[in-house]
C-alpha cells in the first residue's frame, strides 16, 4: 500500500489510507478515502445525513472492517489495538442505550475501574455544572442529560484522541456552548486531538476548528475555518478565462456549474487572497453556503 500521501505518517494520531467500505447488500459508503488527524488538531466533520460520517468514525476506531485500504491509530493497525492504546481513546457514539438501568454514579464507577488514568475532579465538576442527577436510572434522564453524561464519561480518562459522533445533537444552545468551551479547554490544556461530527453549523463559528467536508465517500476538503472563509470562493467568468486562471494559480475546481452565455461558475480554494482579472467575478461564501456547496 502506498504511503506517499502521508509525509508526517509517524506523527499522525489516526490515518486512513485508500479506505473503501460498503455494507453487505448496502451502499458503498467510503470510497478510496484518505485522511489523517494530526496531534492537537480539532476537526469538525461535516456532511449531509447518510453521507457516511458515523461509518467513517467507526472505521477509524477499528469497529468496522473496510474492504480495502488501511487504518491506523497511533501508528498501529486499528483492528488490533492494544488495551493501552484503547485507553488513550475517548468515544461518544451517536446513541447508546447501554447501561440504562445503571445510575450515573454506578456507570462512572464502572468505567473508572477500566482506566489507569481518571480525573475525578473533572468528573465531579462537570456533573455539578451540567446538573446531572447522580442517583436516578439513566433511562429516566433527558436526552440532553444522557448526552452530557456520555461526554463526561469520554473526557474522564483524559484521552489523547477524542472521537464524538454528533455529540451536541440533543443539547440546547447553552449546553452546546458549555460543551464547546469544555472541548476547547481540553485541547488547550492537554493537546488532545479531537474529531467530532455535526450538522449544527452555527456552533462551529465560535472556534477556529479545522473543518472536514464529507461527500461522495471521501473528504472533499479540509482546512481551518478562517482559511475556508477567506480562500474558498465562487468565481464567475467565461470558461476559457476561468480555465487559464485556474491553471495559472495551480488550483483544481471543487465544483463547476455551467451558466448561460458561455459563462461558468467554479468553486475553488485559492492559494491565498489572489489578484484576479477584472472580467472574473469573485464572491466569498459563508459557512452555510460552504456546507451546501461542498457536501
Ligand atoms: P451519517 O453518519 O453521515 O448520517 P452513516 O455512516 O450513518 O451516515 O450512513 C451512511 C450510509 O450507510 C447510509 O446510506 C446508511 O443508510 C448506510 N448504513 C449505515 N449503517 C448501515 C448498516 N449497519 N447496514 C447497512 N447500511 C448502513
pLDDT at residue 1 tops 50: no
pLDDT category of residue 19 using cuts at 50, 70 and 90 = very high
Mean pLDDT of 145-155: 92
If you take atom 21 of ligand 1, which residue's CA is the nearest one? 23
If you take atom 15 of ligand 1, which residue's CA is the nearest one? 50
Higher-confidence position of 99 and 256:
256
Tell me whether residue 131 is in a domain. yes
pLDDT category of residue 201 using cuts at 50, 70 and 90 = confident
Choose one of 19, 21, 25, 26 to mutate for the ligand 1 pocket test, by most ligand atoms within 8 angstroms of C-beta. 26
Q: Are residues 232 and 209 in the same domain?
A: no
Mean pLDDT of 181-197: 85
Range of weakest confidence among 155-169, 174-188, 206-220, 254-268 = 174-188
Q: How far is the CA of 65 from the centre of ligand 1 (A)?
A: 14
pLDDT at residue 239 tops 90: yes
Q: Are residues 176 and 232 in the same domain?
A: no
pLDDT at 167: 86
Q: Are residues 211 and 240 in the same domain?
A: no
Cell numbers describing residue 194: 479531537
CATH of the domain at 267: 3.30.70
pLDDT at 8: 44
Cell 452555527: give the residue. Answer: 202
If you take atom 6 of ligand 1, which residue's CA is the nearest one? 52
If you take atom 13 of ligand 1, which residue's CA is the nearest one? 50
pLDDT at 81: 92
Mean pLDDT of 98-123: 92
Mean pLDDT of 171-192: 83
Structural domain ending residue among the three candidates 194, 216, 238: 216
Atom of ligand 1 nearest to the CA of 23: 25
d(CA 257, CA 233): 13
Tell me whether residue 47 is in a domain. yes
pLDDT category of residue 164 using cuts at 50, 70 and 90 = very high
Atom of ligand 1 nearest to the CA of 51: 3
If you take atom 11 of ligand 1, which residue's CA is the nearest one? 50
Mean pLDDT of 80-104: 88
Cell numbers describing residue 31: 470510497
Average pLDDT, rounded, for the chain: 89
pLDDT at 171: 84
Q: How far is the CA of 55 from the centre of ligand 1 (A)?
A: 6
Q: Are residues 103 and 126 in the same domain?
A: yes
d(CA 114, CA 117): 9
User: What are the strands of the beta sheet with 193-198, ordered from one edge?
Assistant: 89-92, 161-165, 193-198, 42-46, 210-215, 218-224
Cβ(74)–Cβ(80) below 8 Å: no
pLDDT at 169: 82
Full residue range of the structural domain in which residue 282 is found: 226-294
Cβ(74)–Cβ(87) below 8 Å: no
Pinpoint the alpha helices (H) of 157-276.
173-190, 201-204, 225-231, 239-249
Q: Are residues 73 and 120 in the same domain?
A: yes
Within 6 A (CB) of ligand 1 lie 23, 26-27, 29, 47, 49-55
d(CA 171, CA 198): 12
Higher-confidence position of 272 and 117:
117
Atom of ligand 1 nearest to the CA of 197: 2
Amino acid at each position: 500500500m502506498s504511503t506517499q500521501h502521508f509525509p508526517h505518517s509517524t506523527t499522525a494520531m489516526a490515518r486512513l489510507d485508500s479506505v473503501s467500505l460498503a455494507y453487505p447488500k448496502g451502499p458503498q459508503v467510503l470510497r478510496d478515502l484518505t485522511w489523517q488527524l494530526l496531534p492537537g488538531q480539532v476537526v469538525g466533520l461535516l456532511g449531509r445525513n447518510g453521507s457516511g460520517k458515523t461509518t467513517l468514525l467507526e472505521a477509524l476506531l477499528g469497529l468496522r472492517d473496510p474492504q480495502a485500504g488501511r487504518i491506523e491509530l497511533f501508528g498501529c493497525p486499528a483492528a488490533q489495538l492494544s488495551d493501552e492504546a484503547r485507553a488513550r481513546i475517548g468515544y461518544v457514539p451517536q446513541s447508546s442505550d447501554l447501561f440504562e438501568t445503571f445510575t450515573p454514579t454506578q456507570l462512572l464507577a464502572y468505567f473508572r475501574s477500566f482506566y489507569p488514568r481518571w480525573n475525578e475532579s473533572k468528573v465531579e465538576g462537570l456533573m455539578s455544572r451540567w446538573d446531572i442527577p447522580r442517583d436516578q436510572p439513566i433511562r429516566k434522564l433527558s436526552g440532553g442529560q444522557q448526552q452530557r453524561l456520555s461526554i463526561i464519561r469520554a473526557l474522564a480518562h483524559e484521552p489523547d484522541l477524542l472521537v464524538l459522533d454528533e455529540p451536541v445533537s440533543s443539547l440546547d444552545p447553552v449546553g452546546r456552548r458549555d460543551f464547546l468551551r469544555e472541548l476547547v479547554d481540553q485541547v488547550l490544556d492537554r493537546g488532545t486531538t479531537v474529531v467530532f461530527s455535526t450538522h449544527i453549523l452555527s456552533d462551529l463559528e465560535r472556534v477556529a476548528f479545522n473543518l472536514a467536508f464529507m461527500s461522495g465517500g471521501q473528504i472533499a476538503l479540509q482546512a481551518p475555518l478562517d482559511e475556508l472563509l477567506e480562500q474558498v470562493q465562487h468565481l464567475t467568468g467565461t470558461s476559457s478565462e476561468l480555465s487559464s486562471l485556474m491553471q495559472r494559480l495551480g488550483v483544481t475546481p471543487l465544483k463547476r456549474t455551467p451558466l448561460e452565455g458561455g459563462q461558468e461558475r467554479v468553486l475553488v480554494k485559492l492559494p491565498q487572497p489572489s489578484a484576479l482579472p477584472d472580467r472574473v467575478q469573485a464572491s466569498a461564501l459563508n459557512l452555510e453556503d460552504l456546507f451546501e456547496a461542498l457536501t
